Amino acid sequence: MKKEIKMEISLLELQAGKEAKIVRLDDGCGFQKKIATLNLRVGKTIKKITTQPLAGPVVLEIDHTKVALGRGMAMKIFVEEKK
């Protein structure tokens, strides 16, 4: 039996159009509370729509709602891509 190794990457590294599951939030309580208001938490499935050019935001879809995050926040959210 072959064991599959899952790779976690930052949300910023996830390719546009891909779905992933949030596995880790890499910052303190304030960040986690702010992210929770956007319905982003460990275990949630998201879809990355796009990363805007020129240091623009990362656009996600979560529960049929589009959300824009700054790149700094996106770098602190780690995901596993769904196959």
**Helix (H) or strand (E) segment spanning residue 54:** none
State which residues form the domain around 33: 8-81
State the Cα torsion 10-14-18-24 to the nearest 10°: 0
By C-alpha distance, which of 73, 70, 28 is closest to 52?
A: 70
**Within-domain flag for 2:** no
Can you give the CATH number for the domain in which 50 is found? Answer: 2.30.30.90
**pLDDT score recorded for residue 44:** 93
Q: Residue 28 domain-assigned?
A: yes
pLDDT on residue 62: 93
Q: Name the residue among 39, 38, 40 with its Cα closest to residue 23.
A: 40
Q: Does residue 41 lie within any of the structural domains?
A: yes
41: alpha, beta or left? (left if phi > 0; alpha if psi -120 to 50): beta
Residue 31 placed within a domain: yes
pLDDT tens digit string along 44-80? 999 999 888 788 899 999 999 999 999 989 999 999 9
**Whole-model pTM?**
0.84
Residue 1 lies in a domain: no
- Within a domain: residue 3? no
Q: How many domains does the chain have?
A: 1
Write the pLDDT tens digit of every residue in 2-51: 665 668 999 989 999 999 999 999 888 888 888 888 888 899 999 999 88
